[in-house]
Structure 1
Amino acid sequence: MMIFTLFLLLCIHCPVSMSVTVSASKSKVEVHEHTDAVLSCDFHTEKDQNPRIEWKKKGKAVSFVYFHNKFTSSYAGRAKMEGATLTIHSVTQKDSGEFRCEVTAGDDHVSFGEATVALHVHVPPHIPSCEVPRSVFVGSDLELLCKDQQSASPATYSWYKDNTALTVSSDTPYSMDTRKGTLKFASVSKVDSGMYRCETSDSVGAPKSCVAQQLKVIDHPAEISILIAGASAFVILAFLGAIFACVCRRRGFCTKEKKSKSLSCSSKSYNPPPPTIHNIKTYKATQSFMI
């Protein structure tokens, strides 16, 4: 009886530990781009009726979202507070990250509590970039590439040939990686020629596709040899023509001015030179004709 009485006296005189409690109903929030994101934060205090509420975002460094009862510049005008719950309007990919709700109750014995909410903003797919060569030889290996460079959301890639979706099975001559966007051929054949395009899709928006590109599988390497021979012959003929024109000009056969001078000389009439004084014979009278 004496021990129980002492225990009651100790409980009466010992201070009760009072603390603020903070919690989030959803620790992970996933929304689509340009919609609203609600980051919940619930708290309970024992004494302090006006605790200090702050929101911070963790990235490369910790930055303030809500501080001293107002939003920072990047969130001003597009966010609101209801109690300690934060709502961000028209979120973008830049808003993705880890947010932290902090509540400070100075009158409580344990005056600080926090809760963390991870926000992931799903971005619709963009038009992917496709790498398709114009021509390849029969029997060579080939890899077609497709990549959505702008989307941060995990995308699924699919390939089309002549507007028909390609599917992989045990007897298909190609393999496809729907996560990396690759289409690989171990050995291409003539039937693999066609128009190829890639399409990317995710759970956010409508699929996007690149412009179809023509792939030509060359049956015989001799076709390339013929093209190369024809181009080489054209270059040789052009070179010989340039040499001929240079020689012709140097010898004067191809100069219009020279030709016109020779024509003017041949058409000019001949005029004999005037007689000189020593060629004129003087007449000397030998007889007188007077009567």
Structure 2
Amino acid sequence: MAQNSIVVRGGVQDSQGFTATTSTPVLKVAENEGADLKCTYSGDFNPNPRIEWNFKKSRGSSFVFFDGKPTVAPSVPLCLIPTSVTTSHQVVLSCSDKDASPAATYKWYKNNIPLPEDPSKFAAFKNMTYKIDSSAGILEFPVVSQADNGDYYCEASNEAGPSQSCTAVRMMAYDLNVGGIVAGVIVALLLVGLLLFGLWFAYRKGYIPKMAERMNMLIGFLYSKPKTVVYTQPTANYDDEDGEFKQKSSFVV
């Protein structure tokens, strides 16, 4: 089985004198098998330093492992932003990037202006009642109003690479047309009332029973069995006087 070499730099020292070393500068392992890389650092670091492993392939590409996972820069996030909403209702905008590692944090913008997480602390946003969850990518309007109309987009960012933003979407809030709804209900009730009155009037005038009777006759005619007509030969009688044949009866059906 082929073996691959992993080269680890024996020691790193930054401008402040902190050092990090490894006891395994060169490892040879079989393909598809595990390898343990060890790193030690001087006591000058803080008690909980951030430890990253940087890998560089032979072709020049590189990636970083942190906390046992490869780090991935944000991609263009998926933003769900409604274009039309009704005032005085709850509206939720969402933003997500499942590929970013570590998990991305999110920032929302309105008309290219970043929205602060606490709008009450800023005069320009004190009339807005939204809520932001930067870790979940949620922008919530408990009671949306026309003052919230604007172009919204979200930006995803982490430590692995540059931030990415989705395309801005214009959200517009409209008042509920109560008058139009009431007028529509009234018109519908009037039409139903006219229909009921027409049926009642037709019943009083006897139109409905006559129509029903005619329909029953028509149905009976269409589905009735045809009658069989039998023709019988008339009875032949002879005149006793002259012996000639004379017809004394007609055909009987």
> What's the TM-score bracket when you normalise by the shorter of the two chains?
0.3 to 0.5
